[in-house]
Structure 1
Amino acid sequence: MNQQPMINVDELTLEEIDKQIHLLNEYKQKLVAQEKTEDTPSQKYECVKNGNRKVVVIGGKGQLGRLFVRLFRDSDYPVETLEKDDWPHASQLLANAALVIVAVPIHLTDSIISQLKGLADDCILADITSIKQKPLSAMLDVHGGPVVGLHPMFGPDVEDFCDQTIVVCHGREEEQYEWLLRQLLIWRVRIHRVTAAEHDQTMAIVQVLRHFSTVAYGVHLAKENGTLSDILAMSSPIYRLELAMVGRLFAQNPDLYTEIIFANQDNVDMMQRFIDRFGELLTLIKLDDKAAFKKAFLQTREWFGEYADRFLTESGQMLAAAHHSIRDSR
C-alpha cells in the first residue's frame, strides 16, 4: 500500500488538523482491515456450486465485500471483483456469472443495480445493503432471474462468518438461489428469513434509532465539553462500556452512519417519537412525579419479560470480560 505524504502540522489550522486526523483514522482502518484479511489463515470450505462459473462481487475491494471474496475463494469459486474503474469492462466481468453480489455504499446501490441488465437468466443477483425494500425492488426490475436480498448483521472486523447472522429477504426463484444459502450454512452463518418490509421496520429500531441516539449522545457530550479522562476515571464498568460504544462509532467513517440514518425518510417519524418519549419522562421529573416515573419503568420491565433477566446475565458476563480486557491492556 502506498505511503501517505508527510504533513507539516505547523502550517495547518485547527480545522485542517481535525480533517487530517479523520483522514488518517480512515486510512488506519483500511490498513487494519487489509492486514487482518491477509493475515487470516486460509480455511478451505466445501463448494456447493460445482463448475467453472464465477462469482462477481461489485465493491469486492471494500471492507465487507473483501470478506465475501475471501470466503468464496476459500470455497474454490472463481471470483472477480468489479470496482468503479472497471465499468468499461463490466460486460466482460459479468459474462456468464453464476452470482453477482452488490457490495457498495447505500447511496450508490440503486444506480449500480440499474446498470446490471443482461445477466444470465439463471444468475443470482444479490445485495448486502443494510436496507432491503428499495434495492430488492431495483434488482427485481433490472433482472428477470433469481434475486435475493442479504444483510450481514456484522461489520468488516470479523475474521469469518462463523455464528454470524445474515438476514435473507426473498426476491424471486428461491429454488435457483438455494445453493447460495447452502454455501452460507457451510460457512456456519445463522440465516434469519424475513420480508424486506419486516427487515426495514426492524432495522429502524435496531440500527437507525440506535445510531441516531448514539450520535446524539456523542454530540451532547462534545457540546457539554467535559474532560473525557475525568469521566472515565469516575465511570462504573457499565458506563465505560457504553462510552466505548459511543466512541467506537465516532472513530469510524461518518459517511456510513450518515447514509444509514438518512437512508429512509419514513424513519423520521419514529425518531421524532423517540425524542417525544424523552420529553414525556423529563416532564415527570420536572413535576417530581416519582410514582408515574416508576410506573413507566415497571411497564417497560413487563414488556421485556423474561428477556430482562437474560440480558442482566449476559451484560454481566460482557462487563466481566470487558473489565479483564481493560485491566490487561494497562
Structure 2
Amino acid sequence: MSEPSTATPEVRLQQLREAIDETDNALLNLLYQRKQLAAEVGVVKRAMGQPLYVPEREAKLLEARREEAEKIGLSPDLIEDVLRRIIRESYHQQQAADVHLEQRTIVVVGGDGALGRLFVERFREAGATVYSLDQGDWHRAEEYCHAADLVLVSVPIAATEEVIANLPTLPEQCILADVTSVKQKPLQAMLAQHNGPVVGLHPMFGPQVATLAKQLIVIAEGRQPEAYQWLLDTLARWGAQLYTTTAARHDEAMGFIQVMRHLSTFVYGAHLAEERADLQQLLDLSSPIYRLELMMVGRLFAQNADLYADIILAHPENFAMLRRYLKTFDEYLAALEAGDKSRFVEKFAEVSSYFGEFSQKFLEDSQRLLASAGDAHQLSQVAGR
C-alpha cells in the first residue's frame, strides 16, 4: 500500500501533467510503429494486387476495437474516431507507392485543370507514361494519342462534347473515358467518336482529396467493359468505391444530388449577401450543425462559378423539378404565415415516414460529423486568440 502523497496541489498537478506528457510520447511511438506496419501491409497488398481499401476488413477492425475499448472503460466512439484518422493517413501513405501501370500510356485531356491534374499525378505515381493534352498543345494530339491505352477527358462540361468530337482517331484497344458531372451526352459523343472501349466516369469528389480511398466514382457503362476493366481495377486498387449505373439514371439522380442542392445553396448565399448578414456573428451564434451548413454555403463560393452554372444548365429538364420545389416551399411558407401549424406538423410526419430508417441513420452519422466540426471550431478559436 503506497503512502499518501504529501505534495501540494500545485506540485501534484505538475506531476500529473508530466505523466500525461510521457504517456503522449509513448502514444507517438506506438503510432510510429503502426505506421511502419501499415507501410509493410501496403507492400504486401501491392504484390498481391489487392485493393487499398477493403471495407469488410476496416469494419471488422473498428468493431473489434470498439468492443475492446468498452471492456476497459474507454469511449468506443473516441477510439473509432482516432482509428479512422490513423487509417486515413495509412491509405495516403500506401497509395503513394503503388506502381503497377508501367506498361500503360495515358493521355489526360485537360490535364492542367484541377481534376485533370489529380489524375495525371495518380497515373504517374502508378508508373504510367502520362501526357497532359490542353488547348496550348492540341497540335500534338495525334502524337500523344497514337499509342494511348487510355484517353481521359477532363474539361468543362460545356466543352466536353466538342473536345471529344475533335479527338484524333484512337487505337482500337484504347479506352476513351470522361470524368464529367453529366453522363448521357458525353457518353453518346464518345461512342460516336471511338469504335473501341468507352466508359463514363463521374468522380463524386473534388480535386482537393489526398487519396482516392473511400471516394465514390460512378461508372456509366459504354462499350466493351472487358476491355476497360483494367481501368476500373486500378481505381478500385486505389481504394475508390465504384458504383455502376446507366447514364440516364445517373443524370436523373444528379438532378437531386447536385442541381437542386447547388442552386439552393447559391440562392441561400445570394440572399445572405443581399441582406448583408454579419457572417462572423452568424458563426459565433451557431451550433455545430448550423455552422457546418454555413460552411457548406461559403464553400460553394470559394470555387468555380462556371462549373456550377454548367452543372445546372446541362439538363434543362431539371428546371421543371426545381419549379415544383419552389411551389412546395411557397406552399408551406404560406401555411406558416397563416398560422397553420397543423399543416406543417402533418407534412413533417409524412416526410418522416418517407425517410423511414434513414432518418435515424442520418442522425447518428451527422452526430459524428458534428462532433468533429465542433472540435475543429474550438481549435480555430484558440489559434485565433
TM-score class, shorter-chain normalisation, is 0.7 to 0.9
Aligned counterpart in structure 1 of residue 133 of structure 2, from 82, 107, 122: 82
How far, CA to CA, are the matches of 1:231 and 1:59 in structure 2? 39
How far, CA to CA, are the matches of 2:145 and 2:241 in structure 1? 29
The 5 A counterparts of 1:127-138 are 127-138=178-189
**Kept after mapping to 1: 8 A contact 2:142/2:168:** no
Q: Which residue of 1 aligns with 2:271?
A: 220
Instruction: Describe the SS at the equivalent of 1:174.
Output: coil
Q: Which residue of 2 aligns with 1:304?
A: 355
Displacement, 1:94? 0.8
- 289-298 or 145-154, which deviates more: 289-298
Aligned counterpart in structure 1 of residue 251 of structure 2, from 160, 184, 200: 200
Letter in 2 for 1:323: G
Greater RCO, 1 or 2 (C-alpha within 8 Å, sep 6+): 1
Gaps of 5+ in 2: 1-91
Q: Which residue of 1 aligns with 2:323?
A: 272
Residues 156-195 of structure 1: CA deviation (Å, up to 9, x unaligned): 1101101100000000011110111111111111000010
Displacement, 1:99? 0.4
RMSD value over aligned CA atoms? 1.4
**Kept after mapping to 2: 8 A contact 1:126/1:149:** yes
Give the number of equivalent residue pairs: 289
How far, CA to CA, are the matches of 2:276 and 2:96 in structure 1? 48
Q: Which residue of 2 aligns with 1:43?
A: 96
Residues 97-119 of structure 1: CA deviation (Å, up to 9, x unaligned): 00000001111101100012410
Decide which structure has the larger Cα Rg and report it.
2
Q: Write out the 4+ residue segments of structure 1 that deviate beyond 3 Å after TM superposition.
A: none
The 5 A counterparts of 1:55-94 are 55-94=106-145
Aligned counterpart in structure 2 of residue 247 of structure 1, from 298, 308, 329: 298
With the length of structure 2 as denominator, give the TM-score of the two structures.
Answer: 0.73
How far, CA to CA, are the matches of 2:270 and 2:371 in structure 1? 28
Displacement, 1:230? 2.0
How far, CA to CA, are the matches of 2:285 and 2:229 in structure 1? 53
**Kept after mapping to 2: 8 A contact 1:146/1:176:** yes
Instruction: Describe the SS at the equivalent of 1:149.
Output: strand
How far, CA to CA, are the matches of 1:238 and 1:183 in structure 2? 37
- 94-103 or 61-70, which deviates more: 61-70
Displacement, 1:286? 2.3
With the length of structure 1 as denominator, give the TM-score of the two structures.
Answer: 0.85
Residue 103, structure 1, aligned to residue 154, structure 2: yes
Letter in 1 for 2:96: Q
**Kept after mapping to 2: 8 A contact 1:98/1:122:** yes
Gaps of 5+ in 1: 1-39
